Amino acid sequence: MFFRWDWLRPVLTAPIMPTLGPVHPDALTAGMFEDTLRVADTGDFLPYDKDRRWGGEKDEKVLREDVVHQPEHTLIPTLTRRGRGTVKVFAYGLRDSVVEEAAELAAKLAAAHDMVNARVVRPLGPETAHPRGTRVQLKDFTTGPCPDPGGPVRPVTAWPAAVRETFAPFAEAMAADGLAFLHTQMQAGRCGPVLTAAVEDRVVGAIGPMEVRPDAIGRLQLMPQYFAVLPEARGQGLGRVLWRAAMHWGQSHGATYQLLQTEVDGPSDRLCQAEELTSLGFTHTTAA
């Protein structure tokens, strides 16, 4: 094996994987890192990759020949050609100097591969003071019931036609939150149900798709969703009702957990904190 677990494990301050994103701490192994190297040149998805559900080929890949693996730090660069192209270097290390070394590697590889963007992604532990970036949170469905919250929430297909027709303009208005992309997947029949909130016969919020899939060790995970409420409809508790409805759906369909990523101090972050999710750490991304 390429990765030595006795070198890697001490610097994994948060369960963040290159090309895969957050994973359950119990599933985090050297073998998972090895898997990302194995598919680096094939364009294949790993069986437990959350992006597999969208089809096509895996866009982001590890630059395995440029991995730096040493006793006190590990640098894993990835490349994606989306947009104008980006090299990201995942910096695993306890010393702050690991960021400088990662930035130097990211800039060098971006130039070598003719990529416009160079980034450093640093996972940080849950005890981090004054964190910035993205918080990784765990919802454990085995610790208690997730009751149906009721309210004006249904799968979009369960609303009358007049309400269903308002989903398209809602999705376009919330394109920055991924709802336009989700709508294209819905139209193509490529995803699970989408839960929506409607007020006065108009869709004003949505969370989805609702899908449960096995993770790397076979446990059922509620997959990440797109989640948005129109700005003019916020402050009425609809976001909380939508989120609780999604958790009820996940638990009812056998999921044992869900991982969420929220912008630190953003609305979703505050919601998850109020719902007493477990913080697993943070990721802080900077330009190289």
Alpha-carbon gap, residue 236 to 197, rounded angstroms: 11
User: Within this chain, do residues 10 and 112 fall inside the same structural domain, yes or no?
Assistant: yes
CA distances from 156 to 54, 61, 207, 211, 241 (A): 20, 35, 10, 15, 15
Residue-averaged pLDDT of the chain: 95
User: Beta-carbon neighbour count of residue 8 at 10 Å?
Assistant: 19
Sequence-distant (≥ 6) Cβ neighbours of residue 4 within 8 angstroms: 30, 69
pLDDT digits (tens, 9 = 90+) for 113-155: 999 999 999 999 999 999 999 999 999 999 999 999 999 999 9
User: Within this chain, do residues 107 and 128 fall inside the same structural domain, yes or no?
Assistant: yes
Domains contained in the chain, number = 2
pLDDT digits (tens, 9 = 90+) for 167-218: 999 999 999 999 999 999 999 988 999 999 999 999 999 999 999 999 999 9
User: Within this chain, do residues 89 and 147 fall inside the same structural domain, yes or no?
Assistant: no
Residue 238 — φ and ψ, nearest 5°? -70, -35
Q: At 239, which amino acid appears?
A: G
Q: What is the pLDDT of residue 278?
A: 96
User: Within this chain, do residues 127 and 81 fall inside the same structural domain, yes or no?
Assistant: yes
pLDDT at 1 > cutoff 80: no
138 belongs to a structural domain: no
For the question of whether the overall pTM of this predicted structure is more than 0.85, the answer is yes
288 belongs to a structural domain: no
pLDDT digits (tens, 9 = 90+) for 223-260: 999 999 999 999 999 999 999 999 999 999 999 999 99
Token pair of 225 as six digits: 């969703």
User: Within this chain, do residues 127 and 149 fall inside the same structural domain, yes or no?
Assistant: no
Domain limits at 152? 143-255
268 belongs to a structural domain: no
Residue 174 C-alpha from the chain's centroid: 18
Q: In 174-208, which positions are buried (b, 16+ CB within 10 angstroms) versus exposed (e)?
A: beebebbebbebbeeeebbbbbbbbeeebbbbbbb
